[in-house]
Structure 1
Amino acid sequence: MNKLRFYAARTLRDEAALQALSVPQADLLADLDGKSVALVGNARSLADSAQGAAIDAADVVIRINRAPQPGPGSHGTRTDWLALAVRLSDEDLARIAPRRILWMSPKRKRLGYRIAQGDGFYLHPLADHQALKDRLAAPPTTGAMMIDLLLRSGLSSLTLHGFDFFASQSLSGRRTADQVPHDFGAEAAWVADLRRSDGRLSLI
């Protein structure tokens, strides 16, 4: 799809045309069969940890949005997939250097042409976002959407790093929990339920 057609599809909310740019969800999930996955959140508390080696030891390392990495000791060094719901500058994309980008936000007007044309690009279906929003009774975070998506795969393990449900706020911004539209209590309870029902999920 050329740039003009892309921006026309984005403006007109032509979801079918945009989805045609995405790898099928089944193919995305098949790439995780039998693999260990580290999903790295942006909690400030992670910067005080020594989880970097464990993160880099995973078969697939997935980071979220601006993916701050204060140091390898706490955050590791590798980014295989980047789950996005915000615009990123070319400089940030070059810094993070993901092999695959997943656009998780229902806000298609934020999606850039360069990202949508990338190798292995994935566009998260609007219906999946809405289903999780209904489950949590609030717009889900990018991290919650990724947990929901990843556990549908045949991965061997999913370890959450840097998830404290905004207890220490985010490394990538200064907003407080009251200034964002998410329900972190609901997400924490949901993750606790998932951990009890799915032994592949762990939270460090």
Structure 2
Amino acid sequence: MTRLGFLLARTLRAEAPLAALSAPQPDLLSALADRHVALIGNARALAKTAHGPAIDAADLVIRINRAPMPSAASHGTRTDWLALATRLGDADRARLDPARILWMSPKRKRLDWRSATSPGFYLHPLHDHRALAARLGAPPTTGALTIDLCLRAPLASLTLYGFDFFASLSLSGRRSAAQVPHDFGAEGEWVRALAASDPRLRLI
């Protein structure tokens, strides 16, 4: 696809040509097989911890959106995959340098050409977003979408760091829970129920 074709498909919300740029979901899930995965949320409380070495020891580290990393001691240093729902500036792209970008947002108009043509790019299907939104009763966060995706894979473990469901707010901004369209209470209950039923999932 040319850049002009991409821009046209994005403007017209033509899903098929955009989906053609994506790695197939089964291939993505296969890449997680038997791996210990660390998924890093952006809760402010994580900055007060010393989980960095444990994060870096994971087989695969996935971060979310602009992924602020105040220190290596709390957040680690690696970003293998980046789950995005926002455009990534050049400075953040260079800082994070992900090997694979996952576009999790249903808002295709935010998707940029550089991300969409990056190696291993993945576009999360709209029907998967709708299914999780129906389950939660609200638009899911990028973190919730990524948890849902990862647990479909035959991975060894999924450990969540920096997920307190907005109790300490987010390192990514100053908005309160009332200013964002998510139901953090429902997401917290959903994740805790998953952890109780799936021994691969651990919430730190």
For normalisation by structure 1, the TM-score amounts to 0.99
The answer to whether residue 14 in structure 2 is matched with residue 14 in structure 1 is yes
Partners of 1:70 and 1:193 in 2: CA distance: 30
**Which deviations, in whole Å up to 9, do the C-alpha atoms of 1:158-202 show, x marking residues without a partner?**
000000000000001000000000000000000011011100000
**Which deviations, in whole Å up to 9, do the C-alpha atoms of 1:49-97 show, x marking residues without a partner?**
0000000000000000010000100000000000000111111111111
Partners of 1:11 and 1:189 in 2: CA distance: 36
2:23 is aligned to 23
Size of the aligned set, in residue pairs, is 204
SS of residue matched to 1:22: coil
Trace 1:65-76 onto structure 2 (pairs within 5 A): 65-76=65-76
**Which deviations, in whole Å up to 9, do the C-alpha atoms of 1:80-121 show, x marking residues without a partner?**
000000111111111111000000000000000010000000
Partners of 2:54 and 2:155 in 1: CA distance: 17
SS of residue matched to 2:29: helix
Partners of 2:124 and 2:33 in 1: CA distance: 19
The answer to whether residue 164 in structure 2 is matched with residue 164 in structure 1 is yes
Partners of 1:53 and 1:189 in 2: CA distance: 28
2:97 is aligned to 97
Range moving further from structure 2, 30-39 or 88-97:
88-97
1:53 is aligned to 53
SS of residue matched to 2:21: coil
Q: Percent of aligned pairs with the same residue?
A: 69
Deviating above 4 A after TM superposition, structure 1's stretches of 4 or more consecutive aligned residues are none
1:122 is aligned to 122
The answer to whether residue 141 in structure 2 is matched with residue 147 in structure 1 is no
Ranges in structure 2 where 5+ consecutive residues have no aligned partner: none
SS of residue matched to 2:144: helix
For normalisation by structure 2, the TM-score amounts to 0.99
1:86 is aligned to 86
User: Which AA in structure 2 matches 1:28?
Assistant: L
Partners of 1:20 and 1:90 in 2: CA distance: 25
1:113 is aligned to 113
